[in-house]
Amino acid sequence: MDIFGQAGFDAMNELILIVEDEEDVAQVMRYNLQMAGYRTVVSADGEQALRQVRCCAPDLVLLDIMLPEMDGWEVCRILRGSEQAAKTPVIMVTALATEEARILSLRVGADDFITKPFSLHALLLKVRMILDARRELERLRQRQADRELSLRNLVHELRNSLSVIGGYTSLAALKPEPDPWVKQVAMAADRMERLLNDVSPQTRIERGVQDIDPGQRDCGQTPDQDYANRS
């Protein structure tokens, strides 16, 4: 069965960071992801992976647990504690099939877990499902942001109108015997001002994760160049 041409694997050129110290495994994952339409970048250890995240901002991370020096759990903890990658999806890919490894992966913030040896079909399906969910969440966030902007503009325009009303009622109140409606208009304008304060997006905004050390942003390699440099 062709696992690359299915509608379920309609990649949108997202960038996948593969963190894997076994070169043959990394190459298999990289090849199949590229065949499915993704861009890839590969890191062989945790430190390099963190540099790649700072530089390349991947859409998803495939993270091996048993890495040299810094294991995948620690890498995931750092990502989840950073502003830049706190919400970047992470799938743990490992030969550790124990319940403890699964639970710890979820505790440090991984979104999913797949064990070696894995089905390429299952791997691509997990990647696609997580990226689709992320895209939908971003779409909902953008819709909410658009609504907030529309509400902010509406509040601004209404406040401008209230300022004009308030100015004229103040002038009308200076008359020796102001008309009785002046006080009613002033009270209505005051009520409207209080309502606008309650619904103003700014009121909610005023109620606000350690970034990965920006330090050097030199990745050392750009997407898809890492293996080329080895050959």
CATH number for the region 7-138 comes to 3.40.50.2300
pLDDT digits (tens, 9 = 90+) for 2-52: 444 443 445 568 999 999 999 999 999 999 999 999 999 999 999 999 999
What residues does each domain of the chain span?
7-138, 146-199
pLDDT digits (tens, 9 = 90+) for 91-147: 998 888 788 888 888 889 899 888 888 888 999 999 999 999 888 888 888 888 888
Query: To the nearest whole number, what is the mean pLDDT of the chain?
Result: 80
Q: How far apart are CA 132 and CA 121, in angstroms?
A: 16
Can you give 29-51 as a three-state secondary structure string? HHHHHHHCCCEEEEECCHHHHHH
Q: In this predicted model, which residue has the larger pLDDT, 225 or 116? A: 116
- pLDDT at position 194, please? 77
- pLDDT at position 149, please? 82
- pLDDT at position 213, please? 52
Instruction: Identify the three-state secondary structure at position 156.
Output: helix
Angle at which helices 72-80 and 46-56 cross, to 10° = 30
- pLDDT at position 202, please? 59
Q: In this predicted model, which residue has the larger pLDDT, 70 or 173? A: 70
- pLDDT at position 219, please? 53
First to last CA, the chain: 31
Q: Which residue has the tokens 């799938």?
A: 91
